[in-house]
Amino acid sequence: MRSYSLVAPAKINLYLQIVGDRPDGFHELVMVLQSIELADLVTVRPIGAETIQVRCNHPDVPQDQTNLAYKAADLMVRQFPDYFAKFGGVEINIQKRIPLGAGLAGGSSNAAAVLVGLDLMWNLGLTHSELQELGATLGSDIPFCISGGTSLATGRGEQLDGLPDLHDIYVVLAKYRDLPVSTPWAYKTYRQQFGDTYPKSVSEIETRKQQSRGMMAAIAQQNLAQIGKLLHNDLERVVLPEYLQVQQLRDRFQSLGVLGTMMSGSGSTVFGLVESQAHAEQVREQMKGAIADPNLDLWVTRFCPSGVRLATS
Ligand SMILES: C[C@](O)(CO)[C@H](O)COP(=O)(O)OP(=O)(O)OC[C@H]1O[C@@H](n2ccc(N)nc2=O)[C@H](O)[C@@H]1O
Ligand SMILES: Nc1ncnc2c1ncn2[C@@H]1O[C@H](COP(=O)(O)OP(=O)(O)OP(=O)(O)O)[C@@H](O)[C@H]1O
């Protein structure tokens, strides 16, 4: 048995519409999810003892049972106890590059990488959809992180339909360090503030879902200008008024004339879309010049056509 190193990409939300309540207590969503090249590196390594160990180079990432990567390994152990008994345990090493509490699905992508990695290490031969079904029991973003690319996500975010790949689109990410936003808080607050407007009938639900049609058409036509204009995220309605620094990042991007700007997921990352690497780097420098705050982190990255993949050494 050998080790496997996997690239675990982050995602951004090009579209996030909260349609209403679900019987399971989650929200019914319509989203367009997009993988980006910014990624963690996750290595799974066989160890003799029947244990799961997590190591991470980032001091704020838990290295115990609360790490989502640990939970993914534990799920595989419970699903395939004979393999665990036969081959022994696993050490998971995470090289963290995706910021925490950023709305970029960093933890979810790590968990997705562990599912894919253990499937390879134990030679299980599971399909993507089998791995996604397992991943969905741990978190709504995990199934997408396995397949990645550009995808429509419905249900609670785990029902995926692939969309045409979007090429040559660059992304500037801006996030204040030490400003995480909690995803449960964002959805809970949204329900408190807007729950009374949730649709009651099936036909009303269907009508609301149609609001994403413009974005779908723009993606089908690969119309970047239109995609930029139609970016949408309902969670901004609760996060921006509470976190004024996030609003400020969004305003800044807007003033720099990017194709579009939006908060990703539940925040606190704000992204700006641009059509070339040169322009992206210019926007990053302009953001840095305009907001002289040492706690502001900026990245230039681009759309990526896949989710978790083997790292080439
Ligand atoms: C904000 C996004 O990242 C956008 O892609 C996702 O919707 C959140 O995905 P995630 O972090 O994998 O979320 P989960 O771990 O499944 O759920 C975290 C919390 O968000 C709430 N949640 C999540 C997904 C959803 N469709 N409705 C919800 O209300 C749940 O109450 C839960 O308390
Ligand atoms: N493997 C992991 N990587 C990062 N954070 C993790 C991990 N496992 C558990 N956590 C905990 O979860 C918290 C939030 O995780 P994460 O950074 O994935 O949030 P997020 O980017 O907002 O996720 P999402 O976009 O899926 O809502 C972290 O602050 C950390 O305490």
Nearest ligand to the C-alpha atom of residue 184: 1
Can you give the pLDDT at residue 58? 97
100 is in an annotated binding site: yes
Strand partners, 171: 273, 301
Please tell me whether the interface predicted TM-score (ipTM) of this complex is above 0.90. yes
Of 164, 183, 132, nearest in space to 303 by CA = 164
Per residue in 36-78, pLDDT tens? 999 999 999 999 888 999 999 999 999 999 999 999 999 999 9
60 is known as an active-site residue: no
Per residue in 143-163, pLDDT tens? 999 999 999 999 999 999 999
> Between 88 and 286, whose confidence is greater?
286
105 is in an annotated binding site: yes
Can you give the pLDDT at residue 50? 86
* Domain extent listing, the chain: 4-165, 170-302
Per residue in 172-210, pLDDT tens? 999 999 999 999 999 999 999 999 999 999 999 999 999
Can you give the pLDDT at residue 273? 98
SS3 for 257?
coil
Can you give the pLDDT at residue 238? 98
CATH of 170-302, one of 3.30.2320.50, 1.25.40.80, 3.40.640.10, 3.30.70.890: 3.30.70.890
How far is 248 from 33, CA to CA, in rounded Å?
A: 24
**Is the per-residue pLDDT at 132 higher than 90?**
yes
Task: Determine the length of the chain.
Answer: 313
Nearest ligand to the C-alpha atom of residue 188: 1
How far is 258 from 224, CA to CA, in rounded Å?
A: 11
| Fold for the domain defined by 4-165 | Ribosomal Protein S5; domain 2 (3.30.230)
Is residue 131 within 8 A of residue 146, CB to CB? The reply is yes
CA of 263 to the centre of ligand 1 (A): 15
The reply to whether ligand 1 has any atom less than 6 angstroms from the CB of 27 is yes
101 is in an annotated binding site: yes
Atom 8 of ligand 2 has which residue's CA nearest to it? 67
Atom 26 of ligand 1 has which residue's CA nearest to it? 156
Of 37, 21, 155, 181, nearest in space to 98 by CA = 37
Can you give the pLDDT at residue 3? 96
Residue 85 pLDDT class (50, 70, 90 cuts): confident
Residue 127 pLDDT class (50, 70, 90 cuts): very high
Task: Give the type of residue at 244.
Answer: L
pLDDT averaged over every residue in the chain: 96
- Give the predicted TM-score (pTM) of the model: 0.97
103 is in an annotated binding site: yes
User: Which atom of ligand 1 is nearest the CA belonging to 187?
Assistant: 29
40 is known as an active-site residue: no
Separation in Å, CA 249 to CA 128, 246, 290? 37, 5, 10
Q: Which of 96, 141, 175, 234 is catalytic?
A: 141
Name the residue of 21, 26, 152 whose CB sits within 8 Å of the most ligand 1 atoms, as the mutation to test its pocket: 26
Residue 269 pLDDT class (50, 70, 90 cuts): very high
Atom 29 of ligand 1 has which residue's CA nearest to it? 26
Residue 313 pLDDT class (50, 70, 90 cuts): low
SS3 for 60?
coil
